[in-house]
Amino acid sequence: MENGVSEGRSASLEVRERVRQRGDDAHLCAGARRIMSQTPSDDKYIIGSLDTGLQMLELMLNYDTVTITEIAKGLGVGRSTAHRALKTLENRGFVALSSAGRGYVAGPKLVEIGSPRCLDPQSRIRNRPILNRVLDETGESVHSSLLLGAQLLVVDGRKSRHEVDIGRRVGMVAPAHAMAGGKMLLSLLSDDQIMALFPNEELLRLGPRTLSTRSALMEDLRDIRKRGYSVAVQESERGVNSVGVLLSGDSWRDRMAIVISVPVERGSWEELMSLREQLQAIVDEENRRLEAAPA
């Protein structure tokens, strides 16, 4: 399954670069100032250190990575104060040190409780044209999904017109490690975040080819990061093959996976790669449109 691995720069790396550019110091500090402006500071009952920690969590909900310097500058606190607050949040699992060693990312506790913005009705309405276009151009079932901790939630979808079809799975919640969409979204997390979400080596098996160990999952996620798309061949269930790509967003709470799923009769590797190319072209166009849209 190495076909297509070297096809240009991977979508996930492109997204990371775009987020890094968007999340520069000035942008993050402006976000911090907006948070501070919404916080009353003259109440004698406010605990300063707790307030600082809560503002940090708000930043972590909106940015992929933040550094001690960015937090200190943005929130108007000393570096030592920012460092102690981050260490406290890290100890409780709300933030984690970036695997790159620079800055902090959302920890497993925050990932679990941070409601994805793409769950709101307006986001579903905005994404419907993508699903409609994928269905029109490929003729296959397509779904959008998002990550909720170690689970994948199917948000919306369109059913193919074929007599033999997988059906519409809207509202389904399933283990992310067994789904193409789940693996696509998990690939955006660091190894430390994956270890925290999946503390046990053994993973639940759903289909005949489900990745049943954390080690196998992490190896697959490394491949997905390189090539920019995910594949699940009878991993979610017997008789179903899927391919997924990433619909980008400003931060981890905005991103969704767009997945085409087909019965194995129409899901050979060559057919999956053809569907992947069509899907990627549609989603890339939508990602460019989102980037060009005013903030």
Enter the CATH code of domain 116-292. 3.30.450.40
Candidate from 133-142, 168-177, 264-273 with smallest mean pLDDT: 168-177
pLDDT of 64-87, one tens digit each? 778 888 888 888 888 998 899 888
pLDDT at 220 over 70: yes
Mean pLDDT of 121-131: 75
Q: Between residues 12 and 161, which one has the greater pLDDT?
A: 161
Cα distances (angstroms) measured from residue 249 to each of 117, 143, 179: 10, 17, 20
Residue 17: is its pLDDT beyond 60?
no
**Is residue 38 over pLDDT 90?**
no
Q: Read off the pLDDT band of 14 (50, 70, 90).
A: very low
At 124 the pLDDT is 66
| Total residue length of the chain | 295
pLDDT band at 114 (very low <50, low <70, confident <90, very high): low
Higher pLDDT, 1 or 180: 180
Residue 16 vs residue 122, higher pLDDT: 122
Which residues is 244 bridged to in the sheet?
230, 259
Reduce the secondary structure of the chain to three states and give it as a string. CCCCCCCCCCHHHHHHHHHHHHCCHHHHHHHHHHHHHCCCCCCCCCCHHHHHHHHHHHHHHHCCCECHHHHHHHHCCCHHHHHHHHHHHHHCCCEEECCCCCCEEECHHHHHHCCCHHHCHHHHHHHHHHHHHHHHHHCCEEEEEEEECCEEEEEEEECCCCCCCCCCCCCCEEEHHHCHHHHHHHCCCCHHHHHHHCCCCECCCCCCCCCCEHHHHHHHHHHHHHHCCEEEECCCCCCEEEEEEEECCCCCCCCEEEEEEEEHHHCCHHHHHHHHHHHHHHHHHHHHHHHHCCC
Q: What is the pLDDT of residue 257?
A: 94
Give CATH for domain 14-111: 1.10.10.10
Highest-confidence segment of 108-122, 124-138, 170-184, 220-234: 220-234
Between 165 and 7, the more confident residue is 165
Examine the pLDDT at 265 and tell me if it is beyond 70: yes
* Residue boundaries of the structural domains of the chain: 14-111, 116-292
pLDDT, position 196: 81
Tens-place pLDDT, residues 83-99:
998 889 888 888 887 75
Does 116-292 match 14-111 at the fold level? no
